Amino acid sequence: MFNVADQLNFADKHEYVLSGVFEKGGRLEGFAAEADEKLGGQLTELLKNGEISSKKKIVGKIHTLGLMGPKRLIFLGLGKEKGLSFEFLREAFGKVFKSLQEAKANSVTVILDSFTNDSVDANDAAHALGEAFALATYKFEGYKQKSNETEKQIEAITVVSNTESHEINASLTVGYMYGRGTNSARTLVNLPGNMLTAADMAAYASELADRYGFESEILVKEDMLKLGMGALLAVNQGSHEEPRMIVLKYQGKEEWTDVIGLVGKGVTYDTGGYSLKPREGMVGMKTDMGGAAAVLGAMEIIGELRPEQNVVAVIPSTDNMVSGTAFKPDDVITSMSGKTIEVLNTDAEGRLVLADAVTYAKQHGAEYLVDVATLTGGVIVALGNEMTGAMTNNEGLFEQVLEASYEAGEPMWRLPITEKDKERVRNSPVADLNNSPGRDGHAIMGGAFIGEFAEDTPWVHLDIAGTSVTKKASELGPAGATGVMTRTLALLVERFQVN
């Protein structure tokens, strides 16, 4: 897939050669200047008339007409040099790769040093390149009958840089693994509910465990009954598909200490139960396991990169269906922690399955918790579709998650949990907690409820209801599942510092 070279020979045959162009007052530098000389100054003329542009993210393709080895040159506008950043570069590379995919390109050679400045070195640029390639070229195949035509894919990327080849190759690989893990999460979320049951998700997790040597545990209904996982079992009551509690352990340290718990909501389809969703609200509920997908995608990245951290991933998985055996409003259930819960809304089921999962993660030694869930429509009302909602009980852990999210290009915004919010979820005449205190502050109520089970363990809650799926394509992927928080979780684990 990736090859690294220290120079480009203009006589060698290349299908495409990609170079960056900074705004330099109409001047070309580096590779672009060398190519301009080979082409008799024609590139300077094309820059003047706008067919090549140094403006941000403008892609110009030039056919060399046999005047040099490369068949086509691509110039990507980078704007002013001081404005270059890792995030911008990742998106810009994504735009180029989408363009090359549409052109049915087979290979491309990248002049990496033309995409660097004082703040983005060659290794950063290589990481951005590898990640963008994986993300931008992703496609969910779906279930349509296939034509006899084989779709052409980019099969070879040669990177030219003055930096040590082993460093560049390592950065390309790491970036690509981050992108590939995100794509795995995207595919899981895009799968329809009948193609991804709780048992299917458990089988997928077991395959990851076999591939990367994770310790694994898959609890079935009988196990959950013995352990008293009444919250997860209540949500599952209406289904003929049995639930699973999925556990993956990665030990990157000698001792099982300072364990990071990643907990992902794995509701494979959500009807709302007896608090039934309207027809329009039902479509798309196959994506209600986006948190589980993010955790599994992150575990794939962790398995590839082997950071020196300890991680336990816990995924409660079931669907939420309607039948004669389904749980209902006014029911009182007992969670694994022993806390009792009055059910006021069966469509507030995600926080119930997470309650038992958070408790179980702590039993497996998790000393820090991050849960990820498509939890509430309220977070979309509050923050829209570009920003993940976050809540916490620990400033130090939150700062680390926040930093990872912005580096991953998956921004979040913190919502408060006050003592009065906690009082609202504790307000029940018949139980310790209620699962739905009302519509006002809906997203906060969901987070506050889960926090009752995190208790004193440092914890961050990520509500990805608005960010797990997008209706429009971007430079880094198609419409559909985004795989959001996969890269954030992996970066958090990779760089985690004990408080």
Q: Which of 180, 339, 351, 424 is catalytic?
A: 351
Contact in structure between 161 and 115 (CB atoms under 8 Å): no
Percent of the chain with pLDDT over 90: 91
402 phi/psi in degrees, rounded to 5: -60, -45
Q: What is the mean pLDDT of residues 358-370?
A: 98
pLDDT at residue 147 is higher than 70: no
pLDDT tens-digit series, residues 21-61: 999 877 898 999 999 998 999 999 999 888 899 999 999 99
Alpha carbon of residue 182 to chain centroid: 5
What's the confidence (pLDDT) of residue 150? 63
With cut-offs at 50, 70 and 90, classify the pLDDT of residue 344: very high
Q: What is the mean pLDDT of residues 336-343?
A: 98
Q: What is the mean pLDDT of the chain?
A: 96
Record the tokens describing residue 212, joined without a space. Answer: 């990367």
Closest CA to 415 of 368, 439, 380: 380
Assess whether 426 carries a catalytic annotation.
Answer: no
Annotated binding site for Mn(2+): 265, 270, 288, 347, 349
pLDDT at residue 155 is higher than 70: yes
Least confident of 17-26, 210-219, 480-489: 17-26
Rounded CA-CA distance 348/339 in Å is 17
pLDDT tens-digit series, residues 169-186: 999 999 999 999 999 999
Rounded CA-CA distance 210/176 in Å is 21
Let me know how long the chain is: 499
Rounded CA-CA distance 475/451 in Å is 36
What's the confidence (pLDDT) of residue 148? 62
Rounded CA-CA distance 242/240 in Å is 6
Percent of the chain with pLDDT over 70: 99
Q: What is the mean pLDDT of residues 116-132?
A: 96
Q: What is the mean pLDDT of residues 205-233?
A: 98
| Domains of the chain with CATH codes | 2-141+154-178 (3.40.220.10), 196-495 (3.40.630.10)
Rounded CA-CA distance 353/222 in Å is 16
Q: What is the mean pLDDT of residues 447-459?
A: 98
The reported pTM is: 0.96
Q: What is the mean pLDDT of residues 274-281?
A: 95
pLDDT at residue 151 is higher than 80: no
Rounded CA-CA distance 434/448 in Å is 11
pLDDT at residue 144 is higher than 90: no
pLDDT tens-digit series, residues 291-300: 999 999 999 9
The dihedral through the CA atoms of 469, 471, 474, 477 has a sign that is positive
Instruction: Give buried/exposed letters for 190-226 (b at 16+ CB in 10 A, else e).
Output: bbebeebbbbbbbebbeebbeeeebebbbbebeebee
Rounded CA-CA distance 126/115 in Å is 9
What is the SS3 assignment for 368?
A: strand
Q: Which of 71, 139, 221, 277 is catalytic?
A: 277
Assess whether 277 carries a catalytic annotation.
Answer: yes
What's the confidence (pLDDT) of residue 26? 76
Q: What is the mean pLDDT of residues 103-122?
A: 95
